[in-house]
């Protein structure tokens, strides 16, 4: 599994013949988690993703049929409910995917998702407790340094009063919305990504 901005330097053409580019949530979360872990050390945390509806969801309430396992009907969450009229809580594999490309990152990070009644553009709410004392200024500087030196369009910093639809056509993997960045007691970092 390879995520640009995280582990593309580990690619060996003579050894790796099949690559997986992971899932959309992980391509946004992993580069940001890598930066925070390298500068401040992540001890534990929680990630909540807000994901637009997907094609296998229902327009009207009905059974939640598996897309990956044809014939299977999910019973453990409410994905069968109307995608256009509900915010639907569900499990997510976002952090499992992140751990594949950041194996040194602590596994003490939980994750949860809401499927939202939107057509496009997701968001993630990251809360990490870090080992080293952090300030907003230091954290934003670490993101800006990465943004300035990045090889690909991975990370973008924004302070504009935008909403999800404003990001349609954006080419970056993750946009850190500094309007919602907060640090409590120099150790709890909260970040909103688009």
Q: CA of 177: how far to CAs of 24, 84, 140, 157, in Å?
A: 18, 26, 10, 6
β-partners of residue 112 are 48
Residue 40's φ and ψ, nearest 5 degrees, are: -125, -15
Catalytic residue among 4, 24, 78, 157: 24
Known catalytic residue: 24? Answer: yes
CA distance 165 to 8: 30
Q: Which sequence positions are flagged as catalytic?
A: 24
């Amino acid at each position: 599994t390879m995520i640009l901005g995280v582990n593309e330097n580990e690619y060996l053409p003579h050894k790796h013949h099949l690559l997986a580019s992971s899932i959309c949530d992980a391509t946004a979360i992993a580069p940001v988690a890598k930066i925070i872990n390298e500068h401040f050390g992540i001890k534990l945390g929680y990630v909540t993703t807000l994901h637009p509806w997907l094609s296998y969801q229902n327009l009207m309430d009905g059974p939640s049929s598996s897309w990956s396992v044809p014939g299977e009907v999910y019973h453990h969450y409410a994905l069968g409910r109307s995608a256009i009229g509900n915010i639907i809580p569900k499990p997510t594999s976002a952090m499992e995917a992140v751990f594949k490309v950041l194996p040194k990152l602590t596994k003490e990070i939980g994750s949860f998702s809401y499927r939202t009644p939107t057509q496009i553009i997701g968001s993630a709410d990251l809360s990490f407790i870090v080992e080293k004392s952090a300030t907003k200024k230091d954290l934003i500087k670490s993101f800006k340094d990465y943004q300035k030196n990045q090889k690909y369009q991975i990370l973008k910093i924004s302070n504009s009063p935008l909403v999800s639809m404003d990001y349609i056509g954006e080419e970056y993997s993750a946009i850190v919305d500094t309007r919602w960045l907060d640090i409590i007691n120099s150790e709890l970092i909260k970040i909103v990504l688009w």
